[in-house]
Amino acid sequence: MAVNFKYFLKESGSSMRRNMALTVAAVMVTSLSLIILGVVSMFVHTGNGLAADMKERVDEIRVFLDENVTVEERESLERHIRNMEEVRSVTYISKDEALEEFKKMYEDQQGMLDEIEGNPFPAEFKVQMKDPKYNNTVANRLESRPEVSTDENGKKEIKNPRDVVDKVLRWTGAIQKAGIVVVIAFGLVAVALVSITIRMAIYSRRKEIGIMKLVGATNWFIRWPFIFEGVVEGFLGAIVGIIFVLLINAWIISRVESAAENVNLVGGSYLALLSVFLICIGIFIGAVGSALALRRHIEV
């Protein structure tokens, strides 16, 4: 079996060299489809991770108070919120406490902290819901309260993270669907190119195949070199694709880490699993291309 394996591998290599242009085209299209698949997978993984992280805090809205609110008005609003059956808890954050929270969050960026003049942060209520589905209901009720501050556009300043989560999930879903369509299209082209390459190899060896049949070569002995050729082309396409995916990931990390620290990036374990997955898909593309060519263009 070891001798046969070496023979099959040698024959597939010779065939790939004879049809170098088609082989390179098949490898490149396979790698391109896998690059797209890999990048889309990383984006979806990051988007889902970000959404999942945000969902842990999505049951809380922040209600910013007007600068001129009196203690009595603030306490009245707090009682109003606490009496809502959808609300689990209410926490008041004063202006000074809001400033201290900001300083702790960015304590390693002293330059930015030095630029803060006075205390620009408003007082606020952090309102935690019994269930995230109540976020919009409670936020809408508070829109009419005069104690809530208003931005320059006349909109009440109520921060509802559920809106952001929904937007992230919508974009992630749209990109995932578009990516799948593109990957399928390129995958079909890659299968077709591998199939054409194998057909050319079969045609160029048609006399040799006839002689092998006459001397009693088994069906699979004749087929295996062509199957190996397709699998090798798919494997090479996967390796090229993985290299580019890793380079793209490294570039994204270098750009994102310099701009934001608390972003969920793709980790090494996920990249390892993704690489194995891409290799399997590449081999599958090559095997399917070989199978189609053998089924239609070789009778043994």
Give bridge partners of residue 125 from the DSSP assignment: 63, 92
Given this model, what pLDDT does residue 182 score?
A: 82
**What's the whole-model pTM score?**
0.62
Given this model, what pLDDT does residue 86 score?
A: 92
Most confident of the following: 14-23, 48-57, 78-87, 251-260: 78-87
Percent of the chain surpassing pLDDT 90? 17
**In whole angstroms, what is the distance from residue 188 CA to residue 232 CA?**
17
Token pair belonging to 163: 């809106």
What's the rounded mean pLDDT across residues 180-186? 82
Task: Indicate if the pLDDT at residue 275 is higher than 50.
Answer: yes
pLDDT class of 235 with cuts at 50, 70, 90: very high
What rounded mean pLDDT belongs to the chain?
80
Most confident of the following: 83-92, 114-123, 159-168: 83-92
**In whole angstroms, what is the distance from residue 116 CA to residue 129 CA?**
33
Using DSSP's 3-state secondary structure scheme, residue 126 falls into strand
Kindly write down the DSSP assignment for every residue of 139-205, as one continuous string: HHHHTT-TTB-B-TTS-B-EE-HHHHHHHHHHHHHHHHHHHHHHHHHHHHHHHHHHHHHHHHHHHHT
Task: Indicate if the pLDDT at residue 267 is higher than 80.
Answer: no
What's the rounded mean pLDDT across residues 188-197? 81
For the segment 215-230, what is each residue's pLDDT rounded down to a tens digit?
776 666 767 777 888 8
Is the Cβ–Cβ distance between 300 and 223 less than 8 Å?
yes
Give residue for tokens 């043994």. Answer: 300
Given this model, what pLDDT does residue 1 score?
A: 46
Task: Indicate if the pLDDT at residue 286 is higher than 50.
Answer: yes
Given this model, what pLDDT does residue 279 score?
A: 93
Task: Indicate if the pLDDT at residue 7 is higher than 70.
Answer: no
Residue 151 makes CB contacts below 8 A (sequence gap 6+) with 157
Query: Tell me, which fold does domain 66-148 have in CATH?
Result: Alpha-Beta Plaits (3.30.70)
Which residue ranges make up each domain of the chain? 2-54+165-297, 66-148
Task: Indicate if the pLDDT at residue 242 is higher than 80.
Answer: yes
Nearest to 123 by CA among 94, 92, 145, 159: 94
Most confident of the following: 2-6, 76-80, 172-176: 76-80
Most confident of the following: 46-55, 75-84, 98-107, 129-138: 75-84
Task: Indicate if the pLDDT at residue 55 is higher than 70.
Answer: no
pLDDT class of 298 with cuts at 50, 70, 90: low
For the segment 89-137, what is each residue's pLDDT rounded down to a tens digit?
999 999 889 888 888 877 777 777 777 777 888 899 999 988 877 888 8
When comparing pLDDT for 163 and 250, which is higher?
A: 250
Residue 60 makes CB contacts below 8 A (sequence gap 6+) with 126, 127, 128, 129, 161
